[in-house]
Copies of this chain bind each other. A is one copy, B any other.
Amino acid sequence: MVLKLYYDLLSQPSRSLYILLKLSKIPFEQCLVSLAKGEQLTKEFAETKSIFQKIPFIHDGDFRLNESVAIVRYLSRQYTLDDKWYPKESKKQAKADEFLEWNHSNVRLNCSTYFIVKWRNPLISGKQPSEDRIKSLTKYMEKSLTDFENIFLTNGPYILGDNLSYVDIHAACEIEQTRVAGYDARNYSPKIKNWIEHVRSECNPVYDEAHKFINKLASMHGEENKSKL
C-alpha cells in the first residue's frame, strides 16, 4: 500500500515534506486538503483522516502520523531515505534534532505569527492589525532570524555543515512564508539570502514547484504590503 501524504502547499511543513518525498524518490499518493475551504475542520475528517485536524500528516497503511518532524524521523526508519536528508550518525542526528526542536519556539513561532496576524487574519476579518502590533511582531521575528544566523549558519553553507539536509528545507519553507505578508528575510540578512538561494538551487525544480502558490501570493500582496512598511 502506497504512502499517503495529506497536505496543502500553502502550509510550510507541507511544502518541506512534499519537497523531501519528491527529492528522495519515495513513492507517495498526493492527497490534497484545502485549508482555504477548511476541509480539515469537519467531524468526518477528524474521524476518518486525522484527529489533529491539521496538516501535513501521513497514512502508511493503517498507521496515521501527524507532525512533520515526527514523520521525517519515521520515514528515515521505515523507508529508503538517504542518510544525507536525515543523518544516521548519532551526533550529527542530534544536531539535526537540536535545530528541529529549537525551531518550534523561535523561527516557526515568530515567522508564522507574523504571517497569521499580518496576512491571514485580515483576510478573514477584514480588519488590519495596528502598526504597533506589526512593529512588535517584526522585532520578535528578526530576533529569531538573527539567532538562526548566529547559531545555525556558522558551520558551512548549510545548517549541518557542507551538505544540504532536510533541516535546511524545513527552515527555508518556514522563512519563505512571510513573503506572502510582504516581508522577505533575504532583505534582512545577506547570510540568510545566500543560504536560502543555495537551498532553492539544490532543490530545484521541486522547490519552485512547491512554492508556486506562495510566489503568486507574494507577488500579489508583496507590493501592496511594502508600502505599509
B-binding residues in A (CB < 8 A): 51-52, 63, 65-71, 73-74, 77-78, 90-91, 93-95, 97-98, 100-102, 104-105, 108-109, 150-151
Whether the pair B102, A101 counts as a contact (CB closer than 8 A) is no
Partner among B63, B71, B97 whose Cβ is within 8 Å of the Cβ of A67: B97
**Distance, CA A65 to CA B67, complexed state (A):** 23
**Distance, CA A112 to CA B70, complexed state (A):** 23
Chain A, interface SS category: helix
Whether A94 contacts B73 in the complex (CB less than 8 A), given A51-B151, A101-B67, A151-B51, comes out as yes
From A68, A70, A105, A150, name the one whose CB has the most chain B CB atoms within 10 angstroms: A70
**Distance, CA A90 to CA B95, complexed state (A):** 21
Whether A73 contacts B97 in the complex (CB less than 8 A), given A91-B63, A105-B109, A109-B105, comes out as yes
From A51, A67, A77, A95, name the one whose CB has the most chain B CB atoms within 10 angstroms: A67
Whether the pair B102, A74 counts as a contact (CB closer than 8 A) is no
Whether the pair A65, B108 counts as a contact (CB closer than 8 A) is no
